Amino acid sequence: MTDEFDDMYETFKALLDAFPPSESVKRLEQFGISPDVVQRIRERHEQQTIRIKELEEPQAVILGNRDTWYTGPQAKDKCWPAIVDLLRKDGWPQEPAISALDDSSTRVVSLLNHPKEKAFSTRGLVVGYVQSGKTTNFTSVMAKAADRGYKLFIVLAGIHNGLRRQTQARLVQQLVEPNPAMWSQLTGLDKDFTPQENPASYFGKNNKTHVLCVVKKNATVLRKLARWLEKASDYLKDCPALIIDDEADQATVATKSINPLILSMMSCLPRCAYVGYTASPFANLLIDPSAEDLYPKDFVVNLPKPMGHFGTEVLFGRYALDGEDPEQVDDGYDMIRSIPEDDVPCVRPETRADVEGFEPVITETLRRAVEYFWLVTAARRVRGTGNPHSTMLIHTSVNTAVHNSFEAPLAHLRDRSARSLSDANFLSRLRDLWEGETERVAAEDFGETKVSFDRLVPELPGVLDSCRVIMDNSSSEARLDYENGPVVAIAVGGNTLSRGLTLEGLSVSYFVRSVSAYDTLLQMGRWFGFRNGYADLPRIWMTDELAEWFRHLATVETEMRRDIDIYMTEDETPLTFAVRLRTHPALRVTAAAKMRDAVTAASAYGGQRVQTHYFHTNADWLRGNIDASRALVAASVASAVRTEERPEEGRYIFRDVPHDVVTDFLATYKFHEKSPENDADLIIDYIRKRVATAGSLGRWNVAIVGNPKGEDFTFASGVTVGRNVRARLEIPNAAPDFADIKTLMSRRDAAVDLTGDTAKLTEKEITDLRRVQLPDTGLLVLYPIDKVSEPNPTKKLRAPLNAEEHVIGVGLVFPKPRDMDSTVKKYISANLANVRIEDEDYSLLDSEDA
200: domain CATH number?
3.40.50.300
Does 494 fall in a domain?
A: yes
Does 527 fall in a domain?
A: yes
CA–CA dist 525, 293 (Å, integer): 29
Q: What angle do CA 162, 168, 173 make, to 5 degrees?
A: 130
Q: Are residues 269 and 398 in the same domain?
A: no
Say how many C-beta atoms besides its own lie within 10 A of residue 644's C-beta.
Answer: 14
DSSP code at position 54? H
What is the arithmetic mean of pLDDT over 566-595? 80
Does 580 fall in a domain?
A: no
What is the arithmetic mean of pLDDT over 52-72? 53
Long-range contacts of 264-270, Cβ-Cβ distance < 8 Å, separation of 24 or more: 264/226, 264/230, 265/154, 265/222, 265/225, 265/226, 265/229, 266/121, 268/226, 268/229, 268/230, 268/232, 268/233, 268/236, 269/152, 269/229, 269/236, 269/239, 269/241, 270/118, 270/119, 270/236, 270/237
What is the arithmetic mean of pLDDT over 494-515? 76
CA–CA dist 753, 654 (Å, integer): 9
Q: Are residues 295 and 403 in the same domain?
A: no
Q: Are residues 83 and 196 in the same domain?
A: yes
Q: Which helix (H) or strand (E) holds 155?
A: strand 152-157
pLDDT tens column, 584-629: 777 888 888 888 767 765 456 777 788 898 899 999 999 999 999 9
What are the backbone dihedrals phi and psi of residue 194, each rounded to the nearest 5 degrees, phi first? -130, 140
Does 460 fall in a domain?
A: yes
- Residue 546: name the closest of 315, 706, 321 by CA: 315
Q: Could you tell me if 708 and 314 are in contact, meaning their C-beta atoms sit under 8 angstroms apart?
A: no
Please report the pLDDT score of residue 448 as a whole number: 93
Q: Where are the beta strands (DSSP E) in 748-841?
A: 777-785, 798-799, 807-813, 827-829
Total tally of structural domains belonging to the chain: 4
Confidence class for position 336, pLDDT limits 50, 70, 90 = very high
Q: Among 542, 557, 585, where does a domain finish?
A: 542
Confidence class for position 494, pLDDT limits 50, 70, 90 = low
Q: What rounded mean pLDDT belongs to the chain?
A: 85
Q: Are residues 687 and 752 in the same domain?
A: yes
Please report the pLDDT score of residue 698 as a whole number: 94
Q: Among 247, 278, 305, where does a domain finish?
A: 305
By the 10 Å C-beta count (0-12 exposed, 13-18 middle, 19+ buried), 10 is classed as exposed
Domain range for 706 is 609-828
Q: Are residues 372 and 484 in the same domain?
A: yes
Q: Are residues 535 and 620 in the same domain?
A: no
Please report the pLDDT score of residue 426 as a whole number: 97
Q: Are residues 266 and 347 in the same domain?
A: no
Q: Are residues 385 and 426 in the same domain?
A: yes
pLDDT tens column, 432-488: 999 999 999 999 988 999 999 999 999 999 999 999 998 876 666 666 778 788 999
Cα dihedral across residues 266, 269, 273, 278: positive or negative: negative
Q: Are residues 664 and 537 in the same domain?
A: no
Q: Are residues 153 and 289 in the same domain?
A: yes
Q: Among 486, 519, 542, where does a domain finish?
A: 542
Using the predicted structure, report yes or no on whether residue 501 has a pLDDT greater than 90: no
Confidence class for position 126, pLDDT limits 50, 70, 90 = very high
Does 569 fall in a domain?
A: no
Does 475 fall in a domain?
A: yes
Does 36 fall in a domain?
A: yes
Which range has the worst mean pLDDT, 149-158, 178-187, 460-469, 583-592? 583-592
Which range has the worst mean pLDDT, 395-404, 419-428, 431-440, 650-659? 395-404
